[in-house]
Amino acid sequence: MSDGMDDWTASDGTVDVAKVMARIREKIRGRRDLGLYTEDEVAELTALKLQAFADDAGIDPELLARLMADNHNWNISTDYRIETHRQGRGARLVVFLKKLVRPWIRLYTDHPLSRQAQINLYLHYLCHNLVRELVKLQVEHAALRNRLDALSQAGGREAGSAPPSAPGACRGDERG
């Protein structure tokens, strides 16, 4: 079958979309059977795997969306705003007193919060990269399994041939 336009056009000269889509799906299936995934496909599979892990753990979907976002607004920060939900003069007095005490409080809290933010970011990247590698290994494993199945089917079709034996296996006529 050639890849020419003749294969995709109907008798009236229009493009047969069903044939085109079937051919594209066939090529994609063939590439996936060989384990040839693009980085975008691996990233999509990674996101699906992370979603499955989050669902199993019962994590709030909004938190997962924040964790998966490119920005890091999920991480803790030492730059926090001082505000109150109260109204009136008492509220302004509370905010003023908090701002007055803030420099002394930050002497004790900034270093541990900064360190925790770094640890959080490291663990985030570590987990994400581990899941990405897991997905790549699963794709590679599926491709190898498909190749093994194809080889065993091809070996079984040969006339008079025995199925492939395991490496290191000893046949009955061999002495070792």
Domain total of the chain: 1
- Decide if 167 is inside a domain: no
SS3 readout for the chain: CCCCHHHCECCCCCECHHHHHHHHHHHHHHHHHCCCCCHHHHHHHHHHHHHHHHHHHCCCHHHHHHHHCCCCCCCCCCCCCCCCCCCCHHHHHHHHHHHHHHHHHHHHHHHHHHHHHHHHHHHHHHHHHHHHHHHHHHHHHHHHHHHHHHHHHHHHHCCCCCCCCCCCCCCCCCCC
The per-residue pLDDT string of the chain (176 residues; one tens digit each, 9 = 90 and over) reads 444 545 655 677 666 667 766 776 676 677 766 667 778 888 888 888 888 888 888 888 888 888 888 887 788 777 778 888 888 999 999 999 999 998 898 888 888 888 998 898 899 989 989 998 998 888 888 888 888 988 998 887 764 455 555 444 444 444 43
Range of the domain at 70: 10-140
- Decide if 3 is inside a domain: no
pTM above 0.85, yes or no: no
